[in-house]
């Protein structure tokens, strides 16, 4: 805290600001509705001081409530930013958990010196990966209006706002609200992949380039505040590396719409937009460097570089010694070398040629010349303030904006391989019928040879043709533009070693596996994805066997050399949170992930390979969500080696990155947290065998209780009738189907709609069920040990905090009302009784473990939930009534009537998603 200042009560300040801004927006919305001839809707809006409607609301009121909840979400985000700024001005940044100042202070407290921190910076690589999983219930135009309103809301609270400006802001707010109302919430058609790609590209092209300079400046300021030398961060490799990835256009797992052409088009679109970012930045840089040669003589290095560029580009041979603004001219020539044509009013297109850059490394080298020439001319400040940020963006985004991963399911690969072997006349058996030993023997023999089975024009079957067409499209892109824009080949549901080696064989068929003097090399990394609890348990053994394969070893060596780190082998491993939770419940899932990461990291150390963990986190606790800094602190000690990838799925993208300030805050938490955790993970730490044993017991007991529920006869029927899962399967929330193969089974249902449906019905079952039984199974001494560690062990604290959030979000009254949709009273009472009993036990055991009731420890969380409760209850009761009528019409064979209700039913789903905020 700054001396002489008394800190405000931030909780009170925050809620006062939230109340004021919410009232402002809701009143503006009410005025819009009245002016549009809807005074009855305006009168029933929440948070205006009037009562809420008791009966199920009409569809239009559902839409009004959906918009109202969107406004509440905006206000909460704006309030959080305001409180952070207030806290920073009063107490400094060091009190903001997870900020650079906070993390540097934590490292200094742990006696880590400046040199060690600085030396660790170049080891850090953080990569958020944007996906389009179907948890985002908002239409793209709606998200655009949210961004407009967020900026206006920031402006409306400015203390220097004049009456004229206040009226202008209010007018613009009402215009945005009218657009929201007229756009509506119901998607009449499912979003296309092009829609999802456009949304992701918006963040990558518009938001993140604006955020990177803010991130770097916050690190520099925190560095100086920590008493470190500012000059030590001036080198180009001083900053932690930030990269971005995406799955949109490459995630083929159960998504027939992701064709080879879609993947090829996506790679081109990412490259075009990456180059547009750099075109804009370089054009602005040229204007900034309109430095007169009469004020500072240009150094000979710059003049020589200008001569070379003019010659390369075939420019008229102007004597560079007479150029009035040589630095500006130099940057203009760099713009000319970009492999992009941007005609006014036309769509930008790629261009190739001997004069253009092929790789971003060439541009980086030219920017280094520019930087050095300014330093030599004595303009050190301009080199740092003008050139360094542009170079940083060229390093972060390259010519590809984000790396596109390609993901496919191991089952699909098995079908493709069966067809391929059949077409080649090698086997008429299904690949699934081979023993694992025979598979390995066959694959190891084949992978010694570069010879493909079939001619590239030959067809082997639908799955084989789809995989090979995708791989060939990737290969063609790499041949033309290099491999920087392509990520990894990710194998979802990796269950055995042959699932990974099979990808090498398919890659060989498409030309992605090639013979080098050192041996066979796959030019793209092959990445296992361990998702279920069983696969997480078997993962370390699979990884060891995979890393011992000659093809894997030579491929890792090749990738290390291509990345400029010869000898530093790196294997990416993805761990999934969703399916392990669906498989065994929250406690068993989280403990399985903890153990697997430690064991996988140990395998990497044994094999002299660094492990880059890729965390497949979703938007809810049951799918791995939670505060970023606490998530990083909870990672198992020793598992983090500097590299980390993490998915940002669906709704979380908008929540965390829709606005530049919020995006900067969330990315700072991620980068600073990974840096600090990496340094601390390098130190030895003792593990407690007694605590591990308690967690094993807790996990096993919790899983047994969870499985008992899932395996109880009639449970799937209860799930389909007591939640809106059937309506979700008709929704237009995302382009991906809700089931992998279309089978009506729990195993085939994706974890996302599984979680979404329970949360919509306010059970929040995947986020807490089994916790009470697990805790109650412990002996007194085991429970006492666990209680003692709740504050000392970040993993346990993180787990319990998230578990409490799920329990607090349930609503027993609404659970009973949704359960009333189950026609069979015996079935209804059986499962509702089991769920209620476990909820009671979970609350009781958690309060004993934490020492105080939740209401005393989590007042802010409970107050936030209370703010939403009344309005949400209106929407839930509307949905229950709609579900009852919709299902009855379907049962009566009135498909036309049921279809006519679908838009209203989907609106209720979207409205509740807005109110809950974390849906799946």
Question: For residues 775 and 783, is the Cβ–Cβ distance under 8 A?
Answer: yes
> What residue spans of 641-779 are helical by DSSP H?
651-657, 660-681, 689-710, 715-722, 725-728, 751-760, 771-776
Question: Which helix (H) or strand (E) segment is 264 a member of?
Answer: helix 260-288
Is 537 exposed, middle or buried, given 0-12, 13-18 or 19+ CB atoms closer than 10 A?
Answer: middle
* Residue from 409, 412, 407, 504 nearest 461 by CA: 412
* Residue from 120, 135, 14 nearest 918 by CA: 135
DSSP string for residues in 838-880:
HHHHHHHHHHHHHSS-HHHH-HHHHHHHHHHHHHHHHHHHHHH
Helix (H, G, I), strand (E, B) or coil at 90: helix
Report the Cα 701 to chain-centroid distance in Å: 31
Question: How far is residue 267's CA from residue 260's CA, in Å, rounded to a whole number?
Answer: 11
Sequence-distant (6+) residues with CB within 8 A of 138 are 70, 146, 185, 651, 654, 910, 914
Q: Tell me which residue has tokens 């009566």.
A: 892
SS3 of 338-354: CCEECCCCCCCEECCCC
Distances (CA, A) of 759 to 706, 874, 909, 916: 17, 16, 11, 8
Question: For residues 185 and 910, is the Cβ–Cβ distance under 8 A?
Answer: yes
Question: For residues 141 and 183, is the Cβ–Cβ distance under 8 A?
Answer: yes
Q: Which residues are catalytic?
A: 133, 582
Question: For residues 558 and 547, is the Cβ–Cβ distance under 8 A?
Answer: no
Question: How far is residue 693's CA from residue 335's CA, in Å, rounded to a whole number?
Answer: 61
Question: How far is residue 610's CA from residue 93's CA, in Å, rounded to a whole number?
Answer: 33
Structure tokens at 201: 């590209």
Distances (CA, A) of 114 to 120, 229, 239, 679: 10, 8, 14, 12
């Amino acid at each position: 805290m700054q001396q002489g200042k008394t800190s405000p009560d931030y909780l009170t300040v925050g809620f006062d600001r939230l109340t004021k801004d919410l009232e402002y927006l809701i009143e503006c919305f009410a005025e819009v509705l009245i002016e549009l001839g809807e005074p009855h809707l305006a009168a029933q809006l929440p948070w205006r001081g009037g009562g809420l409607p008791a009966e199920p609301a009409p569809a239009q009121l559902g839409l009004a409530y959906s918009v109202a909840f969107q406004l509440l979400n905006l206000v909460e985000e704006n309030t959080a930013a305001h409180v952070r700024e207030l806290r920073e001005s009063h107490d400094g940044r060091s009190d903001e958990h997870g900020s650079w100042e906070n993390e540097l202070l934590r490292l200094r407290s742990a006696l880590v010196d400046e040199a060690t921190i600085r030396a660790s910076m170049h080891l850090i690589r953080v990569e958020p990966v944007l996906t389009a999983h179907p948890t985002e219930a908002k239409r793209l135009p709606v998200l655009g209006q949210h961004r407009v309103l967020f900026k206006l809301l920031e402006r409306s609270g400015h203390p220097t706002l004049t009456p004229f400006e206040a009226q202008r802001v209010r007018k613009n707010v009402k215009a945005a609200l009218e657009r929201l109302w007229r756009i509506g919430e119901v998607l009449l058609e499912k979003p296309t992949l092009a829609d999802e790609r456009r949304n992701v590209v918006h963040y990558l092209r518009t938001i993140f380039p604006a955020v990177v300079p803010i991130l770097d400046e916050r690190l520099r300021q925190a560095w100086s505040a920590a008493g470190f030398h500012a000059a030590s961060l001036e080198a180009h490799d001083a900053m932690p590396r930030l990269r971005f990835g995406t799955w949109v256009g490459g995630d083929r797992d159960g998504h027939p719409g992701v064709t080879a052409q879609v993947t090829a088009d996506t790679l081109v679109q990412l490259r075009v937009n990456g180059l547009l970012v750099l075109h804009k930045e370089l054009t602005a840089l040229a204007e900034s460097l309109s430095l007169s040669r009469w004020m500072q003589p240009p150094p000979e290095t710059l003049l020589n570089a200008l001569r070379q560029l003019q010659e390369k580009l075939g420019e008229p041979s102007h004597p560079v010694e007479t150029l009035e603004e040589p630095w500006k001219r130099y940057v203009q020539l760099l713009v000319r070398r970009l492999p992009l044509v941007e005609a006014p009013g036309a769509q930008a297109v790629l261009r190739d040629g001997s004069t253009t850059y092929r790789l971003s490394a060439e541009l980086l080298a030219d920017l280094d010349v520019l930087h050095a020439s300014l330093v030599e001319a004595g303009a050190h400040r301009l080199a740092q303030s003008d050139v360094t940020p542009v170079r940083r963006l060229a390093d972060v985004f390259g010519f590809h904006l984000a790396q596109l991963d390609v993901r496919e399911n191991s089952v699909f690969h098995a079908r493709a391989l069966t067809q391929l072997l059949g077409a080649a006349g090698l086997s008429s058996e299904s690949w699934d019928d081979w023993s694992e030993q025979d598979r390995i023997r066959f694959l190891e023999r084949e992978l010694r040879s570069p010879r493909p089975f079939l001619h590239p024009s030959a067809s082997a079957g639908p799955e084989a043709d789809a995989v090979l067409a995708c791989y060939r499209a990737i290969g063609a892109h790499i041949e033309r533009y290099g491999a920087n824009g392509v990520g990894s080949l990710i194998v979802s549901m990796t269950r055995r070693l042959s699932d990974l080696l099979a990808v090498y064989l398919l890659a060989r068929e498409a030309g992605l596996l090639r013979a080098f003097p050192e041996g066979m090399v796959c030019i793209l990394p092959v990445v296992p994805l361990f998702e279920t609890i069983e696969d997480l348990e078997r993962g370390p053994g699979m990884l060891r066997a995979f890393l011992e394969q000659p093809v894997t070893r030579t491929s890792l060596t090749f990738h290390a050399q291509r990345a400029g780190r010869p000898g530093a082998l790196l294997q990416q491993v993805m761990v999934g949170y969703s399916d392990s939770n669906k498989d065994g419940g929250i406690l068993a899932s989280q403990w399985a992930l903890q153990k697997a990461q430690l064991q996988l990291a140990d395998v990497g150390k044994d094999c002299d390979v660094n492990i880059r963990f890729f965390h497949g986190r979703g938007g809810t606790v049951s799918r791995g969500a939670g505060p970023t800094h606490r998530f990083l602190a909870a990672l198992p000690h020793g598992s983090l080696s500097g590299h980390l990838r993490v998915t940002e799925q669906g709704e979380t993208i908008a929540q965390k990155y829709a606005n530049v300030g919020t995006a900067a805050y969330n990315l700072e938490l991620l980068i600073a947290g990974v840096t600090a955790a990496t340094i601390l993970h390098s130190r030895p730490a003792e593990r407690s065998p007694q605590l591990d044993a308690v967690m094993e017991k807790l996990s096993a007991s919790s899983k047994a209780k969870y499985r008992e529920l899932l395996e109880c006869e009639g449970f799937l029927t209860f799930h389909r009738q007591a939640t809106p899962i059937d309506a979700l399967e008709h929704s237009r929330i995302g382009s991906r189907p809700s089931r992998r193969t279309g089978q009506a089974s729990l195993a085939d249902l994706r974890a996302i709609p599984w979680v979404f449906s329970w949360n919509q019905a306010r059970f929040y079952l995947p986020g807490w069920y089994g916790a009470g039984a697990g805790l109650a199974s412990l002996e007194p001494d085991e429970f006492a040990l666990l209680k003692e560690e709740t504050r000392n062990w970040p993993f346990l604290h993180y787990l319990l905090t998230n578990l409490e959030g799920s329990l607090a979000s349930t609503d027993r009254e609404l659970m009973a009302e949704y359960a009333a949709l189950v026609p069979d009273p015996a079935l209804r009472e059986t499962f509702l009784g089991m769920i209620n009993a476990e909820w009671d036990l979970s609350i009781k055991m958690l309060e004993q473990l934490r020492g105080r009731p939740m209401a005393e420890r989590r007042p802010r969380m409970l107050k936030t939930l209370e703010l939403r409760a009344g309005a949400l209850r209106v929407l839930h009761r509307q949905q229950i009534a709609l579900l009852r009528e919709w299902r009855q019409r379907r049962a009566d064979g009135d498909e036309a009537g049921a279809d006519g209700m679908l838009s209203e039913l989907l609106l209720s789903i979207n409205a509740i998603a807005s109110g809950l905020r974390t849906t799946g």
